[in-house]
Every structure is written in C-alpha cells, then in structure tokens.
C-alpha cells in the first residue's frame, strides 16, 4: 500500500481548503444553510465528486473522494452543510450513477452535481430504523405507473429537496428481495414533506418526514429492476460509510489545531498549559485517535477503489471515526475549560455534530454486528 498522495490529489485538497475557507462561512448556528452556499458547493465540485464526468461530476474514485470530503470537513465550520452535501452525493447521486439508466442519469445527475437540484434519500421509517428492510411503505404496480404509500422519517434535506430517492416494497412476501428504489420529484401529487424538525446536532441540516399518499409516478422513475432496491441501498451505504466520515477526520484535524494553539497561549500558575503533562497526554491521545481512524478510513477507501469487498474495512473505519470524533470533541471542550463550555466559541457545537455520527449510516452497534458477521460469528 502506497501511503503517499499524488500531486493532483494534494492540489485538490489544498484547493478545497482555500475555496471553502474563503467563500463558505457559518451564517448563524440556529439557521439552515442557504441556497447560495449550496450552489457554491456545486461550483467547487463537491456535490458530484464521485459522479462520472460526462454527467457533470468530477469522476473521482473512492479514495480521492474521501480526501476531498476530509478537506471540506476541515475547512467548513458548518458540519450541517458538509453532512447535507455528502448525504446528497452518496445516498442520492450515487444510486443514480451506479444503477440508473442512461435517460435517468442525463435527466437528473447534471443538476444534482451543479447544485441546481438538492437530493434526499428516504428509507428509514418510524418502525424501520436500523432494521431498514422491515419497511411498510408499498409501491403497487398500476399499468405503466407505480402508486407509493407510506411514511419516511428522518429524511435529511427533505424540506428543501428537489429529488427524493425513495425505497418501497413491491413484493412484501419477498422481504428485502422485494424492495425497489424510485425517484420521486418535488411537486408530485401525493408527496408531502413536513416542516424541518429540531435536532441537538447537525442543526443546519434541514430534516423532516416524507409522507406518500397515493403518490403516482411513472415506471421510468424506477431505479434498476424490481427487487434490486436492497442492492442499490447497500451500495450507497458503502460509499457513505467510507467517504462521508472523512469529514469528521477534517473536523478532528481542525479541533487539534485549535487546541494546540490555545494551550500554547493559555497560561495557568505561571506556565503555559502546553507544559502540563496532563494536557500534553490528552493531546497525544487526540492525535493517536485521529491518525488511527484516518488509516482505517483510507484503507477502506483504498480497498473499495480497487473493487475489493471492503465491507469489513468500511465498518471498522466508520466505527472508529465516529467514536473518535465524539471523544476528540470532549477532549477539546475539556482542554478549553470554560471557553469550551461557552457557546460563543463554537466548540460545543462540534460535540453536538459528532454525536449523531454514531447513529446515522448504521449505529455503532450495527457496525459491531457487521464486523462480527464478517469474522464468521
């Protein structure tokens, strides 16, 4: 394994750092990101990193895509925007890029990559969270159409989305083999989207509930064949679990940089905090967790880029990064003392943004289940 980045990858990382730092700022912590910010993400290529170039994307492999997302997470103080962009890319664009037909790709991908369109993925339901394939949503064939019924919960980007990738059962008796994926456009009769709900973290990501009531769509909006929905979703989750969490590597890098600067300048008892062993050991642990998580994530992306089965590596990296992100945030707050506890510094916000990383894209418990299964247990 080559641990070096190519000159092109190095330039990409620096370019994203510069562009995002210069152009995208955190507006207000209690407000959602703006359409202008979204369009900037599109202009910088962040919304189509792994989408083929002839559909408006950048055409990067998994490894390069993760590097770009890490730079985005390091440079952008608004993890809600980073999360929305990554969810849009991996759970909406990539199902179309990998499983859509030519007409679907040409119709939707250019707008999704440019920022003209916003994508959302709707699979979770009130009674189908970790057990997503226990869904009750139905898609009933009616001639050249499907009629969708059901309720989807915790749909990121839903209140502002133009395109929804929605999963529903076409053959309930077949279990997960009866799940099918569809594209539903905003404005389709029978599609209802709730107002955004309040969350403790990722507060600038608008998220809500999607209700399907006799929602009729043409069969040309089906992604892949009937019964392929589980495969479509699992492929999108491999992308998301591998690449989205690189954003938290970027956040941990930013936290470490900020904390090192603070402990060098802050003096207590006539000495800089950076001279206290208790402080330096905690910083050493922060660096250790960051680098260990980074190696696991990039090994997983490397395996996926080679076309290998990266299921085990991806679950290991997702688990390591998400749990390291929470601990790094706690350490950052602790080392900043009362300043860290004060909302004005924005440090507590990073903790709140890190907590959901152990919940979405499969909880830590689900990742441990996957790891155990891959070990033959």
Catalytic residues: 240
Structure tokens at 29: 């912590």
Residue 360 DSSP symbol: T
CA separation (Å) from 309 to 67, 303, 306?
20, 7, 9
Structure tokens at 298: 């990039």
Closest CA to 115 of 58, 41, 16, 26: 41
The phi and psi torsions of 229 (rounded to 5 degrees) equal -60, -40
Judged by DSSP in three states, 170 sits in coil
Q: Which residues of 357-376 are buried (b: 16+ CB within 10 A; e: fewer)?
A: bbbbbbebebbeebbeeeee
Structure tokens at 36: 């202008």
Judged by DSSP in three states, 202 sits in coil
- Distance of alpha carbon 11 from alpha carbon 5, whole angstroms: 10
Residues in Cβ contact with 75 at an 8 Å cutoff, skipping those fewer than 6 apart: 16, 17, 18, 20, 21, 24, 250
The distance between the two most distant Cα atoms of the chain, rounded to a whole number of Å, is: 80
């Amino acid at each position: 394994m080559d641990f070096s980045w190519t000159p092109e990858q190095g330039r990409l990382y620096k370019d994203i750092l510069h562009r995002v730092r210069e152009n995208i700022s955190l507006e207000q912590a209690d407000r959602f990101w703006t359409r202008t910010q979204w369009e900037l993400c599109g202009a910088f290529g962040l919304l189509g990193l792994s989408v083929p170039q002839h559909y408006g994307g950048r055409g990067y492999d998994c490894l390069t895509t993760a590097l770009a997302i890490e730079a985005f997470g390091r440079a952008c103080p608004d993890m809600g925007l980073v999360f929305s962009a990554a969810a849009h890319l991996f759970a909406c664009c990539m199902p179309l890029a990998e499983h859509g037909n030519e007409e679907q790709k040409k119709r939707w991908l250019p707008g999704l990559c440019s920022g003209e369109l916003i994508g959302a993925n709707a699979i979770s339901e009130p009674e189908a969270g970790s057990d997503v394939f226990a869904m009750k949503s139905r898609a009933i064939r009616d001639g050249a159409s499907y009629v969708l019924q059901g309720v989807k919960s915790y749909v990121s980007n839903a209140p502002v989305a133009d395109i929804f990738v929605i999963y529903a059962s076409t053959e309930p008796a077949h279990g997960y083999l009866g799940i099918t994926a569809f594209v539903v456009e905003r404005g389709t009769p029978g599609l209802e989207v709730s107002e955004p709900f309040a969350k403790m973290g990722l507060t600038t990501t608008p998220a809500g509930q999607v209700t399907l009531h006799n929602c009729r769509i043409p069969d040309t909006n089906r992604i892949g064949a009937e019964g392929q929905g589980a495969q479509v979703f699992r492929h999108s989750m491999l992308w998301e679990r591998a690449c989205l969490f690189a954003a938290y590597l970027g956040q941990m890098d930013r936290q470490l940089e900020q904390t090192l600067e603070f402990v060098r300048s802050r003096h207590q008892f006539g000495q800089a905090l950076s001279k206290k062993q208790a402080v330096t050991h905690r910083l050493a642990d922060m660096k250790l967790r960051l680098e260990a998580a980074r190696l696991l994530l990039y090994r997983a992306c490397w395996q996926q880029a080679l076309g290998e089965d990266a299921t085990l590596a991806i679950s290991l990296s997702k688990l390591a990064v998400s749990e390291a992100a929470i601990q790094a945030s706690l350490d950052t707050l602790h080392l900043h003392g009362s300043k860290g506890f004060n909302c004005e510094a924005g440090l507590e916000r990073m903790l709140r943004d890190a907590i959901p990383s152990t919940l979405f894209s499969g909880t830590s418990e689900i990742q441990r289940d996957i790891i155990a299964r891959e070990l033959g247990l």
